[in-house]
Amino acid sequence: MTRYSKQTRILVAVDCIIFGFDGHDIKLLLVKRGLEPESGKWSLMGGFVQPRENLRQAANRILQKLTGLQGVYMEQLRTFSDPDRDPVERTISIAYFALIDIHKYEKQLSEDYHAEWVLLKDRPRLIFDHNEMVELAQKQLRYKAALHPILFELLPSKFTIPQLQSLYEAIYDNTFDNRNFSRKVLSTGLLIKQKEKDKLNSKKGAFYYRLDKRKYKANFQSFLNFIPNPDKFLI
């Protein structure tokens, strides 16, 4: 087989950043690294791309092998190529990220590599440049949450304003004033009020709402209005 002469071979890896929402908090899925250096330290799910697979195939294979998770749609974040990012060999890593409903995937989670959900805000120090990867993925997630209805996919088809507020506070790591949040989110006109109330979580009961997806597609900018200082959270 013909090869390019006088060129140095470089390893290519993928790292998977999986955020999860459990109904109250945003968590990050981590594993303990199984080889030196940094063996036993907390790590993202990572591995090397094999000769006969593309990047997405590699990401799906590695995620399934280390966690058991299948069918997770991951988006490519960016490439990390600092020459010294891996102390063993020159390795370029392409990071992928996703946000999932933890409860929908909890039965898939494998114990083979001891994958564990940890609170995003209390995450431990990660190996190599994985902390940088997570921070950039957080920013991208906040950007997408401001512009697209991805967060509503983590909620039931019918949800309360407090449920929605809890999710946004977790994503933006910020506390929103209850009255202001409710007033601003309802002023968008993108929620359809239901007749039923959630009486389990409050004495008075909170009305359920649905997202009007047709209106959302036509006027998604409305949701930017209820995020305090949105530019602070966007890339």
Domains in the chain: ranges and CATH: 11-146 (3.90.79.10), 149-232 (1.10.10.10)
Is the pLDDT at 52 greater than 90, yes or no?
yes
The Cα–Cα gap between 23 and 36 comes to 36
Quick one: average pLDDT of 104-115? 90
Question: Rounded mean pLDDT of the chain?
Answer: 89
Model-level pTM greater than 0.75?
yes
The counts of H helices and E strands in the chain are 6, 10
Is the pLDDT at 175 greater than 70, yes or no?
yes
Please report, to the nearest 10 degrees, the dihedral formed by the alpha carbons of residues 45, 46, 47, 51 taken in order: 100
The Cα–Cα gap between 70 and 16 comes to 13
Q: What single-letter amino acid sits at 217? A: K
Q: Which two tokens stand for residue 109?
A: 């989670």
Is the pLDDT at 224 greater than 80, yes or no?
no
Pairing of strands 11-21, 91-101: parallel
Of the given ranges (33-42, 46-55, 107-116, 142-151), which has the lowest mean pLDDT?
Answer: 142-151
If one compares 185 and 53, the residue with the highest pLDDT of the two is 53
